[in-house]
Structure 1
C-alpha cells in the first residue's frame, strides 16, 4: 500500500459563457499508508472531483499528486495502481460473479492460477464464495456492492478509492455494509480514500475526515476532534446529527447574554473571551448537552435557558425538543419520558463546559 499526497492542487473548469469555475482550491494534505480517510461535504464541494483527480479521471489544473513515491500528474489511470469503486455497481449482467471478479485480471493477462487464487481470496473475505456462479440480477443490492468491492480487492492496488458506494442502498443495508467496509479495512490493512455526503458514514468509518465546502478544505481531523473542536461554524453545523445549535450572544462581565436570558461562564471561558468583552459572539452547544430540568437534580439558574417549546420529535430512544431563541431554532436531545409539551414554557439546563464560541464576522471558532 502507499500514501497519497496533494500539493497545492487546483481544479478549474473553463466555460466560455459563464467563465472559469474553481472546483478545488489549493488542496494540501497527506493520506498516510494504510489509513482510512473520508472526504465529506455537501454536493458540489469538490470531494468527488478530488477523488477523480487521484484516480486520473480528471486532470488537475495545477499542483502535484503523489501516490507512493511517484508523481502521477501525467500518468494514465491504469498505471497509477489504484482501484476505484463507484456509486453504480457497474457489473456485467451477462457474466457470473466469478467472471465479474476475474475480468480485470484476465485483461491484464495474469496467469490462470493467480486469477483463481485471488478470486477465491476475495470471495472468502466478502462472503461471496457460495454466490460465484450466480448472475448479478440474482443478488441483493448489498451483495452486488460487495462484488464491486471484490473487483477492486483482486487487483491488490496501492490505494482503494470509494465514490459514495452506499448511496443506492436502503438505510438498514447501508449500516450493514458500512460495518463490513470497516472490518474489510482492518483485514486488508489498505490505504482507503472514501467519499460521501453522509456525515454519519464519515464519522463511523474515517480514521481522519476531510471536510470540504465550496472547493476548500475546512478541516482535517479525527472524528472526535471534528466533533469537539470544529474549526468553524460550517464544520460545527455539518458534523453531528442533529447539528450544533448556534445562539447569537454578547459577552459582558463573565456572562453570555442572549435574547431572553444569559449563562454564567467559568473562569477559563471568561479569560479566553476577554478580547470579546462587550462584543457579539455566536455561542455553540450540541443538542445532547442541553437537558430538560426534570432530569437534572441540581440545576443552577446560572446555566439555564427558559423558552417555549415549539416542536417535539419522538424518536423512541430519545426526544428532540425544539425552541426558539431570537431568530435561531434550538434543539435539545432529551430523555424520551420528558414532560415537555408543545406550547409549554420550559427550563432547559446547559452543560456550560461543552460551550464553544465563534467570531460572528469570520465564523471561526475562538480558542479558549
Structure 2
C-alpha cells in the first residue's frame, strides 16, 4: 500500500458562460499508508472531484498529486495502481460473478493460476463463495456491492478509492455494509480514500475525516476531535445529528447573556472572551448538552437554567427532540424520554456550560476558551 499526498492542488472548470468555477481550491494534505480517510461535505463541495483527481479521471489545474513516492500528474488511471468502487455497481450483467471478479485481471493478461487464486481470496474475504456461479441479477443490492468490492480487492492496488458506494442501499443495509467495510480495512491493511455526503457514515468509518465546503478544506481531524473541537461554524453545524445549536450571545458584567436568560462564566473563560466585551458572539451547544430540569443526571443543582416555550416534540423512543426558539433562532434539545415535555409547555432547561463552544460572528471561526 502507499500514502497519497496533495500539494497545493487546484481544480477549475468552465461553466457555459466560459467563466471559471473553482471546484478545489489549493488542497494540501497527506493520507498516510494504510489509513482510512473519508471526504465529507455537501453536494458541490469538491470531495468527489478530489477523489477523481487521485484516480486520474480528472486532471488538476495546478499542483501535484503523489501516490507513494511517485508524482502521478501525467499518469493514465490504469498506471496509478489504484482500484475504484463507484456508487453504481457497474457489473457486467451477462457474466457470472466469478467472471466479473476476474475480468480486470484477464485484461492485464495475468496467469490463470494467479487469477483463480486472487478470485478465491476475494470471495473468501467477502463471504461470496456461494455466489460465484450466479449472475448479478440474481443478487441483492448488498451482494452486488460486495462483488464491486471484490473486483477492487483482486487488483491488490496501492490505494482503494470509494465514491459513495453505499448510497444506493437501504438504511439497514448501509449500517451492515459500514461494519463490513471497517472489518475489510482491518483485514487488508489498505489505504482507503472514501467519499460520502453522509456525516454519520464519515464518523463511523473514518480514522481521519476531511470536511470540505465550496472547494475548501475546512478541517482535517479524527472523529472525536472533529466533534469536540470544530474549527468553525460550518464544521460544527455539519458534523452531528441533530446539528449544533447556534445562539446569539454577549458577555456583560461577567455573565454570558442570551435572550431570555444569562449564565455565570468561569474566570478563565471570561478572560479568553475579553476581546468580545461589548460585542456580539455566537454560542454553540449541542442538543444533547441541553437537558430538561426534571431529568439531568449530575446537573440537578446547576444554576445554568432558563425557561423556553416548547413548540414541537419528536418522540424517537430512546430519546426525545424538543424544539424552541431563543432570540429568533430555532434550538433543539435531545432529552431523556422520561423528561416531561409537550408542545406549548414553558419548561426550564439546564445548559451544560462545560461543553459549550464560542464562534466569532464575522469570521465564523472558533474562539478558544
Name the TM-score, length of structure 2 as normaliser: 0.98
Where does residue 267 of structure 2 map in the other structure?
267
Shift of 1:212: 0.1
Give the structure 1 partner of residue 200 of structure 2.
200
Residue matched to 2:304: 303
* Offset, 1:263: 1.6
Residue of structure 1 equivalent to 2:352: 351
Spell out the pairing of 1:123-202 with structure 2 (5 A cutoff).
123-202=123-202
Alpha-carbon offset, residue 16 of structure 1 = 5.5
CA distance in 2, matches of 1:15, 1:37: 30
CA distance in 1, matches of 2:106, 2:282: 59
Local SS of the residue matching 1:291: strand
Which residue is equivalent to 1:64?
A: 64
Q: Deviations over 1:209-248 (max 9, x none)?
A: 0000000000000000000000000000000000000000
* Alpha-carbon distance, 1:256 to partner: 1.2
Structure 2 distance, partners of 1:109, 1:202, is: 37
* Counterpart in the other structure of 2:248: 248
* Cα shift readout 1:311-355 (whole Å, capped 9, x = no counterpart): 111111100011100111101100112211101000110110001
2:280 is aligned to 280
Superposition RMSD on alpha carbons, in Å? Answer: 1.0
Alpha-carbon spacing, 1:32–1:301, altered in 2? closer, same or farther (3 Å): closer
* 2:43 match: 43
Q: Partner residue of 2:20?
A: 20
1:287, 1:117 → 2: CA distance?
Answer: 51
CA distance in 2, matches of 1:268, 1:34: 41
Residue 296 (structure 1) shift: 2.9
The corresponding residue for 1:87 is 87
Gaps of 5+ in 2: none
Q: Which runs of 5+ in 1 are unaligned?
A: none
* In structure 1, C-alpha distance between the alignment counterparts of 2:267 and 2:187, rounded to whole Å: 48
The answer to whether 1:330 aligns with 2:340 is: no
User: Is the 8 Å Cα contact of residues 295 and 338 (structure 2) preserved in structure 1?
Assistant: no
2:214 alignment counterpart: 214
Secondary structure of 1:365's match? coil
- Counterpart CA distance in 2 for 1:296 and 1:10 is 49
The superposition leaves residues 263-289 of structure 1 with CA deviations (integer Å, 9 ceiling, x where unpaired) of 211222112111111211100000011
Q: How many residues align?
A: 368
Q: CA deviation at 1:53?
A: 0.2
Give the secondary-structure state (helix, strand or coil) at the position aligned to 2:278. coil
